[in-house]
Amino acid sequence: MFFQQLVNGITLGSIYALFALGYTMVYGILLMINFAHSEIFMVGAYLGFWALSLLPVWVQGWTPGYFILVFAIAMMGAGLLAVTIERVAYRPLRRASRLAPLISAIGVSIFLQNLVQVTVSAQSQPYPDTFKISHYEFFGVQVNSLQIFIFALAISAMVLLQVFITKTRLGKAMRATAQNHTVSQLMGINVNFIITVTFLIGGALGGLAGVLNGMYYGSIKFNMGFFPGLKAFTAAVVGGIGNIKGAMVGGFLLGIIEALTVGYISSAYKDIILFAVLILVLIFRPTGIFGEEVTEKI
């Protein structure tokens, strides 16, 4: 049973981790909690849903291409949405106090959630199960192909992102921007462009997490972003916000703790224990597991 719980926890953690990457990237560059990220996740899931149901038959016959197309649509859409939100709701506030964009983000979040509820539906939408799931059993532990797929995708997204950040010119420019906007600008970096790219990538990953969430659980709803959003953000903080490895480790850690708590202690007290762990981690490591000391003010 322990290994089964581990598998459950790792799958859950993969989704948290992918989701947390978006929070952490935006935080790294702008030092803001992007509350609207959970709505980007939700919109991504809906875009994937429409792509899955509406793509013409000739595409559907060609399985790998079909999935690539579905993911591409959802990720592009979510990425563009994130960029639009940044342009409209955050950019005018770049020079304001740090709480102003937070409030703007909350407004965007309320707006998007209710917009989807009214224009699409207040009900859950069953997700088309086009993904042929094969079940495997190893020593009594149930694993299915979707779980493996999600895990692999999460890991490769993280590795690609890490390589991108550390090895490419654009990635280096992003890290420079994260350190200091003014100095980066003096070095010839187009800060606005870098921020746009950050939101594009973060949003696309959020959209990807949304589609995977829909596929894995089989239903989506307008408020689906809230719970995982809270957990993913917590994961990003536990790992050390602004740090890509941290978001990943935090995500897996949270998923595994959650599964094991439910398995061995209590389902009702699961989130209490989760948040207690969060508080303890931060008391003993005030900047998270991988975080660095930064001084900041609100």
Partner 1 sequence: MTLPRRWPLIAIGLLVVLILPLVLNQLGNLYAVRVIGLVGIYCILGVGLNITIGYTGLLDLGYIAFYAIGAYTAAILSIAGISFWLGLPIVMVVGGAIRLGLGAPILRLRGDYLAIVTLGFGEIVRLVLINLDAITNGPKGLPRVGEKIADVKLFAFTLTENIHFYYLILVFLLIAIFISHRLEHSRLGRALIAIREDELAATLSGINIARTKAVAFVISGIIGAVAGDIYVHWNQFVSPESFTFWESVLLVSMLVIGGMGNVWGILLGVVLLVAVPEVLRSTLGTAFVDYRMIAFGLLMVVIIIFRPQGLLPSRRRALELEAAGGEP
Partner 2 sequence: MKAHTVFRLTLTFIFLLGILVVISGCGQKGPRVVKVALVAPLTGDIAAHGQGMKRAAQLAIEEAVQSNRFKDFKLELAAFDDRGDPKEAVTIANQIISDPAILGIVGHLNSGCSIPASQVYAKRNVLMITPASTNPKLTQQGLRNVFRLCTTDDVQGKFAADYAVDNLKIEKAALVHDKTAYGQGLTEEFRKEFLARNGQVLSFDGIDVGEKDFKALITRIKGESPQLLYFGGMHPECGLLSKQAKELGLSVPVFSGDGIVTPEYAKIGGPATEGDYASMIGSPPEKLPAASKFVANYHQRYPKNDMQPYDPYTYEAINIILDAIEKTGGDRNKMIDYIAKVTYSGILGESSFDERGDTRNKTITIYTVRNGLFKYVD
User: Contact residues for partner 2 (CB under 8 A)?
Assistant: 1, 4-5, 8-9, 11-12, 114, 117, 121-124, 126, 129, 135, 142, 144, 213, 217-219, 221-224, 226-228, 258-264, 266-268, 271
Q: For partner 1, give the closer residue by CB, 73 or 274.
A: 274
Q: For partner 1, give the closer residue by CB, 203 or 242.
A: 242
Distances from the Cα of 201 to the Cα of 76, 103, 121, 180, 284, angstroms: 9, 23, 28, 20, 32
We find the least distance from the C-beta atom of residue 212 to partner 2, in angstroms, to be: 12
Q: For partner 2, give the closer residue by CB, 65 or 126.
A: 126
Q: Binds 135, which of partner 2, partner 1, none (CB < 5 to 8 A, cut-off by type)? A: partner 2
Residues in contact with partner 1, shown as a per-residue x/- string from 229 to 248 under the rule CB under 8 A = -x--xx--x---x-------
Name which of 44, 87, 53 is nearest 207 in CA terms: 44
Q: For partner 1, give the closer residue by CB, 65 or 107.
A: 107
Q: What backbone phi and psi angles, to 5 degrees, belong to 138? A: -115, 115
We find the least distance from the C-beta atom of residue 222 to partner 1, in angstroms, to be: 11
Asked if 43 and 221 count as a contact pair (C-beta separation under 8 A), the reply is no
Q: Binds 33, which of partner 2, partner 1, none (CB < 5 to 8 A, cut-off by type)? A: partner 1
Give the span between the Cα atoms of 136 and 143, in whole angstroms. Answer: 5
Asked if 101 and 35 count as a contact pair (C-beta separation under 8 A), the reply is no
Residue 298 binds partner 1 (CB under 8 A): yes
We find the least distance from the C-beta atom of residue 17 to partner 1, in angstroms, to be: 17
We find the least distance from the C-beta atom of residue 213 to partner 1, in angstroms, to be: 20
- Most distant CA atoms of the chain, gap in Å: 60
Position among 7, 12, 30, 143 found at the interface with partner 1 (CB under 8 A)? 30
Q: How many residues does the chain have?
A: 298
Residues in contact with partner 1, shown as a per-residue x/- string from 44 to 83 under the rule CB under 8 A = ----------------------------------------
Residue 186 binds partner 1 (CB under 8 A): no
With residue 269 as reference, give the H or E element that holds it.
none
Name which of 210, 236, 230, 233 is nearest 222 in CA terms: 210
Those residues whose C-beta lies under 8 Å from the C-beta of residue 219, and which sit 6 or more positions away, are: 124, 125, 126, 127
For CA atoms 48, 238, 199, 97, give the dihedral sign. positive
Give the span between the Cα atoms of 44 and 163, in whole angstroms. Answer: 25
Asked if 206 and 22 count as a contact pair (C-beta separation under 8 A), the reply is yes
Residues in contact with partner 1, shown as a per-residue x/- string from 88 to 127 under the rule CB under 8 A = xx--xxxxxxxxx-xxx-xxxxxxxxxx-xx---------
Q: For partner 2, give the closer residue by CB, 8 or 109.
A: 8
* For helices 2-30 and 169-179, angle between their N-to-C axes, nearest 10 degrees: 70
- In three-state secondary structure terms, 297 is coil
We find the least distance from the C-beta atom of residue 77 to partner 1, in angstroms, to be: 20
Interacting residues toward partner 1 by CB under 8 A: 27, 30-31, 33, 35, 88-89, 92-100, 102-104, 106-115, 117-118, 181-182, 230, 233-234, 237, 241, 268-269, 271-272, 275-276, 278-279, 282-283, 286-288, 295-298
